[in-house]
Chain A
């Protein structure tokens, strides 16, 4: 079973600042990693697939990088609507999610 860990647990930032979120896999997942955003009371939304490929309609301020076991989601300049919980997911071996990082003001 591949375990994903995310850091930090929470991130306190202001609009306009840069957010850097990390996801680490217990074993290599190659580039089989995605990032999701979830706002309160809403379903998750796919942001990044295949480690660095933005999903349809996702703004360019969201970017993903990494391969193997270490991955990063970067939000270049936070907009008010970006304050949410972010999850990483792997599909290299079955499917698992990380515990999430909450980005708040």
Chain B
């Protein structure tokens, strides 16, 4: 069974940093692209970042480019998102999601339950 478990969310002040993580199990992690998708309270889904299976290909949404860094550790089956210079508008549930075909831009066929990041003074 595919399992994605996010962790590391919490309350931070504007301008601060936070790292969130996703632990993957139940599939061959190193063969799938991985992604972060967020959802602000009461709002729709917003793609944040994607990373290819090897970790070389990476893309970001314009809203986070230059502030967020996605990375993966295939030996540990883990995905991370380093978030710097956080803003109130970054407040959201952050979901880890697996790419279906292994393409950098893909369908999201498995999702974690999310970790909540709140940016407030």
Contacts and interface: CB of A to CB of B under 8 A. Distances in A.
B79 to A, nearest CB: 15
A100 B44 CA distance: 7
A51 B121 CA distance: 43
Contacts, number: 54
Interface in B62-119: 95, 100, 103, 105-109, 111-114
Interface in A12-68: 34, 36, 38, 42-46, 49-50, 55-56
Bin the interface of chain B by size.
20 to 34
A83 interface: no
Contacts of B45: 36, 38, 44, 87, 89, 97, 100
B47 A94 contact: yes
A45 B105 contact: no
B57 interface: no
Bin the interface of chain A by size.
20 to 34
A43 B100 contact: no
A91 B105 contact: yes
Contact of A94 (B105, B112, B114): B105
A94 B104 CA distance: 9
Interface of B: 35, 37, 44-47, 50, 59, 61, 95, 100, 103, 105-109, 111-114
Interface of A: 34, 36, 38, 42-46, 49-50, 55-56, 87, 89, 91, 94-100
22 contacts: A34-B107, A38-B45, A43-B112, A44-B37, A44-B108, A45-B111, A46-B107, A49-B109, A50-B107, A55-B109, A87-B44, A87-B45, A89-B107, A91-B103, A91-B105, A91-B107, A94-B105, A95-B47, A97-B44, A97-B45, A99-B44, A100-B45
